[in-house]
Structure 1
Amino acid sequence: MHHLLLLIVFLSPSLTLSLNKEVLYLQKAKLNFDDPTAALSNWNPDDETPCKWNGVVCDSSSSVVSLDLSASSLSGPFPSVLCRLHRLSSISFYDNFINSTLPDDELADCLALEHLDLAQNYLTGTLPRRVSELTRLRYLDLSGNNFSGGIPASYGTFQKLEVLALVENLLEGVIPSYLGNVTTLKMLNLSYNPFSPGRIPQEIGNLTNLEVLWLTQTSLTGEIPDSLGRLGRLVDLDLAYNELSGSIPPSLTQLRALVQLELYNNSLSGDLPSGGWSNMTRLRRLDASTNELTGRIPVELCELPLESLNLYENNLHGGLPDVIAESPNLYELKLFRNRLSGKLPSDLGRNSALWWIDVSTNNFSGRIPESLCSNGALEELLLIENSFSGEIPASLGECRSLLRVRLGHNNLSGEVPGGFWGLPHVSLLELIGNSFSGGIAKTIAGASNLSQLILSENKFSGYLPEELGFLENLLEISGNDNRFSGTLPVSVVNLRQLVKLDLHNNAFSGGFPIGIDSWKKLNELNLADNQFYSEIPGDIGELSVLNYLDLSRNRFSGEIPVSLQNLKLNRFNFSYNNLSGHIPSDYAKAIYKDSFIGNPSLCGEIQGLCNSEDIKNKGYIWFIKTLSVLVGILLIFGIVWFYIKYKKFNDVKTNLESSKWTLMSFHKLGFSESEILEALDEDNVIGTGASGKVYKVVLSNGEAVAVKRLWGQSKASDDIERGSIRDDGFDAEVETLGKIRHKNIVKLWCCCTTRDSKLLVYEYMPNGSLGDLLHSAKSGLLDWPIRFKIAVDAAEGLSYLHHDCVPPIVHRDVKSNNILLDSEYGARVADFGLAKVVDDASGKGTKSMSVIAGSCGYIAPEYAYTLRVNEKSDIYSFGVVILELVTGRLPVDPEFGDKDLVKWVCWMLDQKGVLSVIDPKLDSCYRDDICRLLNLGLLCTSLLPTKRPSMWCVVKMMQEIGCRSLHKNAVKVGN
């Protein structure tokens, strides 16, 4: 019988392979996964051994001891069958899409396990309790998942655990004291979890083997316990982004092995410890910024071999000890926004390769040290808002490593060194608010990377050199309030990237150089308060994005070019020149009167600008003719209206047509207000909201516009006075959309106003709003690529508001109904009736509102109870929009019970896994990208505002998702 079995095995190789249980177990695990990138393609069931399979490592007896499938795009539940591999000591599924909950009981069977890495996946539910029963386990990383609930009590019973990382989950409760029982720990990282407010447990001081302790953004309160001073092996301590209070305990200076100390963004107060720093002989990086620290910087601290010293945004006073200059490793020194005074150490930078120095907004005085760039590594020099005096050191004129220089608002004087003008890598050179003299040297030709040249409010003189026109990357020239003279150099027209040119309040003369129509990106031109003469060139009308134009208080003559009507000017001023003739009709309105005064020979339809009797008579005749035409037009309108509305006279239309309208345009218009007014009837209504009705108006040229008519006074509440919410919304809309230009912000063509009515005319978006389309029967039109494109477009629009507008703009009502779609499903952010400019003068970046504004389901939780608004409020609302795109669900739905969409998604992920929340209309082939965007949406809707990324980061993360998707598609095509 035994010989028969051997014969069968010999004749049947597949039967021999089936006897290898490890192959069978791994094959079962493979069937568990969705494998879109074919990471498991060489896992062949006919192989005799799995030892050559991707990610598999065997020992000398061909038993599987390690499985590493990191970043393989695998999805599906954790394969508990792996625990049958009795010698398996290491499992890593880092950066995949493993979902559902961890099988607690099965995981406890992995008795040989020493290393378990499941970080950056989509696991939900509570942390596995029985994993502490794995007596050999040394490394446990569950970071970047969606685990919820508290840290189990069993986690205080690990026997050999050295690394415990639970970063970026949804863990609740407080950090438990029983973690102090795991004395084998070398790394404890609980950062970025929404724990309940609580203190750092004293028992953490029992972890005497600990080398890394990260408790960043874990809702810590109270004082830092003295017991942390017992962690004699600690190398890295990070307690940043909490609400810690009190002073830094002197016991921390006993941490002899400490290399990095991060305490920034807390509410610490009191002095820095004055003694004991000499014990911390290994400390390289200290970051105690953004606290409430007071007192002086201890000399002992500066005697340490520091690489990085960050104490910015505190209340420190006194001087910077000279001994800091002797540190051979110092590369970063950031002390901005304190009350420090005295001189900078004269040898600062001589003994170390200093890269970055920022001591802005202090009371430092004296000269800038000659030695800052002695080692040729200095990249950023920021000294703004101090009392530095004297000249710029000549040595800085040879510092070719410099990238950014900001010396504004000091008492610096003298001429700028010639080499300083021509540093080849500097992108920002800011010297504003000093007493510099002399001229701009011709060596500026070498500043090939310069994009911003800010020289305002100094005593610079002389001509602008022709070499200035060689700087192809220049975006801004601000030289106002100086003593420059002469004509503008001819070469300045070569600056095709120029966005801002501000030379007001100098002594320039002459006229515009020929060829200014090359400034296609120019947004602001201010030449006021000079001695320019000649005529205003018609080419200025070719500057299609010009928004701000000030030529006032010069000696310009001749007529104002009619081509100026091509511009989208939001602010302009031609006053106090020698201009004559008629004002172009688009600007001949009373509201623009102040922009033309001081030109005795300039005439138009604005009362008080013309003085001669002849001009008055001509104006009167023109007025009579115009009035006659208008009366005729109104008569025709009345007849047409009578035949169309023969049953009922429309009171609203009577008011609209009989009132005197004021039109303010923000773009070149191809229509008049009359075309808009005659189309405002109920047949053209396409939407009604809280602020008014929206009409679709088809113009005579065949194009369409959308017109929002704000409710009349009768629609307002009795207790809302004129000029309150309705008028604020109109003003906010006009103020915001009138001055910004972006492809993902809806275009406001113009506004029309009378005493009783207000109209806003926008570009028409044929596909309506995202909300209407996504939550209707037409939602099937929105496949995943379109949804992702909409998300990216909207994010770029919001990023422009938050990061590119100065000051930043908060939308305050981001929702799917305020994201409009063009014919190609390109998205535009719309409805700025609640938008607010962020007043950052306080340094807090927030603005307090008197009432809650926004839409149900989109309002950030902290906004509801603090009434303080900043960019993070918009980011939360945008996160809700992302969840709408992923789930196809409304932000508030009776099906959710007392939950909103955010809470419902978190609950479903916890209970049923990621597939339960994805819109079933979406193709499963996009699941990887959908899950990544879902994760981003959850990040944006974090309860803690500080955990939400900026909109700039959101755009970058979306771009990475898009690039990853393109790469996958390319791989598939290649295969």
Structure 2
Amino acid sequence: MVMARYRCRYVTLLFLLFLAIPATIGQGSDADTLLQARTSLSDSAGRLRDWTASTTPCNWTGVACEPRSGAIASIDLSNFNLAGGFPSGFCRIPTLRHLSLAWNDLGGGLPAADVALCSGLEVLNLSNNFFVGRLPEFSGEFPRLRLLDLSGNNFSGDIPPSFGRFPSLRVLSLYSNLISGRIPSFLANLTELIEFNLGFNPFRSGSLPPEIGNLTKLEVLWLPFVNLVGEIPDSVGNLANLKILDLSNNGLTGRIPASIGRLRSVEKMELWRNQLSGELPQSLGNLTSLFAFDASENKLTGKLPEGLAGLNLTSLALNDNRMDGEISTVLAQNPHLVELKLFNNNFSGELPSGLGRYSYLTNVDVSGNQFAGRLPPDLCSRGMLESLVAFGNRFSGELPQSYADCRTLDYVRIQNNELSGKVPDLFWSLPKLYHLELRGNKLEGSLPPNISRAKNLTQIIISDNKFSGQIPPEICDLMELRTFDAGNNQFSSGLPLCIADLTKLQVLDLQQNNFSGEIPAGGWTELAEINLSMNRFSGEIPRSLGDLPVLTYLDLSGNQLSGEIPPELTNLKLNHLNLSGNDLSGKIPDGFDTSFFLPSLLGNPDLCSSSGLKTFRRCPSIKQKALKRIAVTVLLTAAVMFPATAVVLAAVCYQFRRTGKRNAGPLWKLTSFARVGFDESEIFECLTAENLIGIGGSGRVYKVSLKSGQIVAVKRLWTGPDGQNSDREFRSEMETLGRVRHSNIVKLLFCCSAEECRVLVFEYMENGSLAETLHGNKGDQPLDWERRVKIALGAARGLAYLHHDCVPTVIHRDVKPSNILLDAEFEAHVGDFGLARVVGRETEDHSAMSNVAGSCGYIAPEYAYTLKVNEKSDVYSFGVVLLELVTGKRAIDPSFGEQKDIVQWVIDTISPKRAIEVSDMDYEFLIDPRLRPFTFSEYKEMVRVLNVALLCTSAFPMNRPSMRRVVELLSDRRDMNPVVQDQ
């Protein structure tokens, strides 16, 4: 029995050793395969340092094996900072089922031959890399593939037919690429699909295929920003398992189909920013699982269906439509409602009084409607309300006392209603409140001292009410305050002197009150606007106002100010100055002694002008006073001694005056935008051929060295038959640049015009324009990559300022290298605003918009046929500039071929066929050869900027980022991977 037992153990041991031998041999072979494939990857972070032949692959980072057999089953190297091409060698492991290389810096194309090696995979995730070219053909069978994620790359072209032949596919993600064509109907063959993500791709305009209804197992249909048009097909109602439906940011039209009410499992429905019309279907009331519904920014009409209002929604967004009628009281009974957005419609009646009584409301925005009656008192009864926006309605009565207990409230805008009565004292002291806007009502009472407890307040806008009393000194405790607008009220007494200690204050507007006393002054380092007009301030204007570094708006008109105008005020770079209607006296400072500032000085009869400014007496100089005394003495003596002499002198003076008038030059209109030490005569003396540095479509540019040593650039606009365009460009540049202050916008110093001459004087840029530096024939060394990136970022910041921070917004309309100027440090300054347009301003000459403005090669494709001014047109032009910086080529070049520009050339060049012809299938062939040699990190940076350029030059404006987003993409590499998102 003992021998039999030992024999049995011996046989078992031999059997186990026999099983282990193939596994050991297999692991050794697989290790070699992995190590060979790993050589094609750059591992700058050292995450794969444990991949060595001396250890088993099952212990390597990112590798997982089957616990029983020891076979390699999964490789997950996501977010490892790897670079290189697609390591197809991994797929030579026959047991591999899961391959994830997401969130790396892999690039090049995906040849069909390499992808074919992966036919045994169940999961293939290559998302958020830099792959380019057309989507790969999946030749052969991929019977096990359950997840295919190629999102967040730069794939282009059509979706290949092979994508409709994955029998087991459950997740297809192709979002955030450059895929064109139309959404193909053959994708409806993927009947096992659970997630279908194609969003953020510039598809050609097309409808959602009605065959989409065949995907009955679908739970997620995510198609934002794919250029869908036409109506939503009725077959969408067949998707009974759908939980998320997102068709937002498209061009869908027509009614929302009633069949959508059959989506009994849907939880979230996003239909916003389309062109949907008609009434909301009553069948929406059947969607008992729905918790978020957003159909905002459409053309919907009719009333809010009671069935939809009665659902247990957490979020309801119907803003920016044309809906009307009253809101059903059933909405207030929803215990789950957190967010309500109904703004910019025509809703009327009263808001349900019980709104907020049963739910944890957080955000409420009902602005821009016709709501009337009282504000619902229970909005914050659950103590969660953070934002209340209700401006532009007809709400009346007092502000509910219960709002004073809403300690979570941080953002309030209830302006332009008919509210009256006193604001509860405790409301002023809410601890989280940072934006308070109550202007344009009939509110009364005073600011209580407990306002000091609202430490987070940054905006107090209470103008156009009936507030009275004095401003309490406790307001000086609000050290975060940036805007204090209390104009057109009944405040009185003096301002607390400590208000000058609010160092973050940017706007101080107290016009049309009854303030008295002296104007306080102090360390307002961020103050940009002061308006104290129409009060009873007295005393002198504080000289320290002239030291405020960013002050551009100063209005002290209609007060009782006396004394001289402080010369220090001329140090300011003012866009607006008004000192009229006071008791000021003495000499007008030289910087203000021009016709441009004349309206700002009227109503001060004791002022005098050294330049002879009309309506003011001329200031006598010391020399003039002496000469006057001598002249009076001589004339009196001559009149007594020689009566005839007086007659002769009078005749001579009369003739001299006539001759002087006849020989006088043109009447110049002068405008100064900064403190300058020159006048028009010095400028015109230097407009000679020797100083000419450029000739453009709008005029000649001169380099002028002034007597003071300052160097300026002078643009003399063309006149003659094209004088109307010249005048338009002159006014455009003067009005735009005169009020813009940004380090990346060229600074306009001075301008003057006469009947036949218009001149603009700018700060001089030592390195000329980007066009000269990048494409010119200068003997200097070509721009290195570091400077190109600096130029790109500077120009982007300038344009972002115009689009997002200027009020009103400015559209440049002619962004190109010749209009990007470079100073001595190669800092970029956007210039030439002759074609610029201010958004929202009524222009005097509407014909200026009846033709295409801009330069060939930089004009966005949609602009040529819509003629609409839009920020995205500037974004496209800037994208072209980025392509020029990377490639070194001009926007239009004969080498591109007939009827091609740089955008089309780059898109056509980045294709699988072209990529196969170069080593490593990379972008190197696109990069300016003058930048060679470059490091690998520089190469990655070049590819990144090229990526941003392609995004900016998308054929569809909706897919282009804002300039603010472009600045982020160029500044922070981490934001580059999901390159089409967050637009």
Q: TM-score, normalised by structure 1?
A: 0.89
Question: For 1:306-341, what per-residue CA distance to the aligned partner results, in whole angstroms no more than 9, with x for missing partners?
Answer: 111111111111122222222222211111111111
CA RMSD of superposed structures (Å): 2.8
Distance 2:352 2:626 in 1: 74
Distance 1:231 1:539 in 2: 70
Residue 270 of structure 1, CA deviation: 0.8
Distance 1:690 1:42 in 2: 63
**Could you tell me which residue of structure 2 aligns to residue 917 of structure 1?**
926
Q: Confirm or deny: 8 A CA contact 2:594 2:613 kept in the other structure.
A: no
Question: For 1:216-236, what per-residue CA distance to the aligned partner results, in whole angstroms no more than 9, with x for missing partners?
Answer: 122212211111111111000
From 683, 687, 693, the counterpart of 1:686: 693
Distance 2:817 2:904 in 1: 18
**Could you tell me which residue of structure 1 aligns to residue 852 of structure 2?**
852
**Could you tell me which residue of structure 2 aligns to residue 639 of structure 1?**
none
From 304, 307, 310, the counterpart of 1:300: 307
Cα distance change of structure 1 residues 148 and 778 upon mapping to structure 2, 3 Å threshold: farther
Residue 584 of structure 1 pairs with residue 592 of structure 2: no
Q: Confirm or deny: 8 A CA contact 1:457 1:481 kept in the other structure.
A: yes
Q: Please show how residues 477-876 of structure 1 align to structure 2 within 5 Å.
A: 477-513=484-520, 516-604=521-609, 605-606=611-612, 608-610=614-616, 659-711=666-718, 713-714=719-720, 718=721, 720=722, 722=723, 724-776=724-776, 781-839=782-840, 849-876=849-876
Q: What letter matches 2:758 in structure 1?
A: K
Structure 2: gaps spanning 5 or more residues: 1-23, 632-662, 916-921, 978-983
Q: Please show how residues 900-939 of structure 1 align to structure 2 within 5 Å.
A: 900-910=901-911, 911-912=914-915, 913-920=922-929, 921=931, 922-939=934-951
Cα distance change of structure 1 residues 410 and 925 upon mapping to structure 2, 3 Å threshold: same
Q: Aligned with 1:125: secondary structure? A: strand
Distance 2:589 2:619 in 1: 21
Residue 137 of structure 1, CA deviation: 0.3
Between 428-437 and 32-41, the greater mean CA deviation after superposition: 32-41
Between 317-326 and 291-300, the greater mean CA deviation after superposition: 317-326
Distance 2:220 2:81 in 1: 30
From 39, 55, 72, the counterpart of 2:62: 55
Cα distance change of structure 1 residues 611 and 165 upon mapping to structure 2, 3 Å threshold: closer
Question: For 1:747-804, what per-residue CA distance to the aligned partner results, in whole angstroms no more than 9, with x for missing partners?
Answer: 1122132332222222222122222222246785533332222222222111111111
Cα distance change of structure 1 residues 779 and 210 upon mapping to structure 2, 3 Å threshold: farther
Cα distance change of structure 1 residues 735 and 890 upon mapping to structure 2, 3 Å threshold: same
From 417, 428, 435, the counterpart of 2:435: 428
From 393, 398, 414, the counterpart of 1:391: 398
Q: What letter matches 2:163 in structure 1?
A: Y
Cα distance change of structure 1 residues 342 and 753 upon mapping to structure 2, 3 Å threshold: same
Q: What letter matches 2:786 in structure 1?
A: P
Residue 146 of structure 1 pairs with residue 151 of structure 2: no
Q: What letter matches 1:543 in structure 2?
A: L
Q: Aligned with 1:341: secondary structure? A: strand
Distance 1:86 1:283 in 2: 44
From 183, 186, 192, the counterpart of 1:178: 186
**Could you tell me which residue of structure 2 aligns to residue 76 of structure 1?**
84
Residue 962 of structure 1, CA deviation: 7.9
Distance 2:563 2:90 in 1: 87
**Could you tell me which residue of structure 2 aligns to residue 135 of structure 1?**
143
Cα distance change of structure 1 residues 779 and 238 upon mapping to structure 2, 3 Å threshold: farther
Distance 2:148 2:479 in 1: 53
Q: What letter matches 1:294 in structure 2?
A: T
Distance 1:232 1:257 in 2: 6
**Could you tell me which residue of structure 2 aligns to residue 460 of structure 1?**
467
Q: What letter matches 1:765 in structure 2?
A: M
Between 217-226 and 560-569, the greater mean CA deviation after superposition: 560-569
Q: Please show how residues 22-421 of structure 1 align to structure 2 within 5 Å.
A: 22-44=30-52, 46-60=53-67, 61-130=69-138, 133-274=141-282, 276-421=283-428
Residue 841 of structure 1, CA deviation: 9.8
Q: Confirm or deny: 8 A CA contact 2:593 2:613 kept in the other structure.
A: no
Q: What letter matches 1:880 in structure 2?
A: V
Q: Confirm or deny: 8 A CA contact 1:568 1:665 kept in the other structure.
A: no
Residue 618 of structure 1, CA deviation: 7.1
Cα distance change of structure 1 residues 778 and 350 upon mapping to structure 2, 3 Å threshold: farther
Distance 1:294 1:667 in 2: 52
Q: Aligned with 1:130: secondary structure? A: coil
Between 488-497 and 393-402, the greater mean CA deviation after superposition: 393-402
Cα distance change of structure 1 residues 42 and 785 upon mapping to structure 2, 3 Å threshold: farther
Q: For this pair of structures, how many residues does the alignment match?
A: 905
Q: Confirm or deny: 8 A CA contact 2:587 2:619 kept in the other structure.
A: no
Residue 943 of structure 1 pairs with residue 965 of structure 2: no
Residue 19 of structure 1, CA deviation: 8.4
Q: Which has the larger radius of gyration?
A: 2
Question: For 1:167-217, what per-residue CA distance to the aligned partner results, in whole angstroms no more than 9, with x for missing partners?
Answer: 122222222222222110001111122222222111111111000001212
Q: Aligned with 1:556: secondary structure? A: strand
Q: Confirm or deny: 8 A CA contact 1:560 1:583 kept in the other structure.
A: yes
**Could you tell me which residue of structure 1 aligns to residue 479 of structure 2?**
472
Residue 594 of structure 1, CA deviation: 2.2
Q: Aligned with 2:966: secondary structure? A: helix
Cα distance change of structure 1 residues 734 and 579 upon mapping to structure 2, 3 Å threshold: same
Q: Confirm or deny: 8 A CA contact 1:262 1:287 kept in the other structure.
A: yes
Distance 1:250 1:357 in 2: 28
The structure with higher relative contact order (CA 8 Å, sep 6+) is 2
Q: What letter matches 2:112 in structure 1?
A: D
Cα distance change of structure 1 residues 406 and 676 upon mapping to structure 2, 3 Å threshold: same
Cα distance change of structure 1 residues 700 and 178 upon mapping to structure 2, 3 Å threshold: same
Percent identity over paired residues = 49
Question: For 1:394-438, what per-residue CA distance to the aligned partner results, in whole angstroms no more than 9, with x for missing partners?
Answer: 222222222221111111111111122122222221111111111
Q: Aligned with 2:937: secondary structure? A: helix
Question: For 1:543-587, what per-residue CA distance to the aligned partner results, in whole angstroms no more than 9, with x for missing partners?
Answer: 233222222222222222222222222222222222222222222
Q: Aligned with 2:433: secondary structure? A: coil
Distance 1:277 1:883 in 2: 48
**Could you tell me which residue of structure 2 aligns to residue 952 of structure 1?**
964
Question: For 1:942-975, what per-residue CA distance to the aligned partner results, in whole angstroms no more than 9, with x for missing partners?
Answer: 111111111122222233228999xxxxxxxxxx
Distance 2:676 2:494 in 1: 35
Cα distance change of structure 1 residues 964 and 153 upon mapping to structure 2, 3 Å threshold: closer
Distance 2:976 2:965 in 1: 16
Q: What letter matches 1:406 in structure 2?
A: R
Q: What letter matches 1:741 in structure 2?
A: R
Residue 745 of structure 1, CA deviation: 1.3
Q: Confirm or deny: 8 A CA contact 1:548 1:571 kept in the other structure.
A: yes
Between 334-343 and 821-830, the greater mean CA deviation after superposition: 821-830
Q: Confirm or deny: 8 A CA contact 1:847 1:870 kept in the other structure.
A: no
Q: Please show how residues 439-454 of structure 1 align to structure 2 within 5 Å.
A: 439-454=446-461
Between 569-578 and 861-870, the greater mean CA deviation after superposition: 569-578
Residue 468 of structure 1, CA deviation: 1.7
Residue 813 of structure 1, CA deviation: 1.2
Between 353-362 and 174-183, the greater mean CA deviation after superposition: 174-183
Cα distance change of structure 1 residues 157 and 699 upon mapping to structure 2, 3 Å threshold: same
Q: What letter matches 2:143 in structure 1?
A: T
Question: For 1:264-305, what per-residue CA distance to the aligned partner results, in whole angstroms no more than 9, with x for missing partners?
Answer: 11111111112x334311101101011111111111111111
Residue 620 of structure 1, CA deviation: 13
Residue 78 of structure 1, CA deviation: 1.5
Structure 1: gaps spanning 5 or more residues: 1-15, 626-655, 966-975
Q: Aligned with 2:192: secondary structure? A: coil
Distance 1:958 1:614 in 2: 58
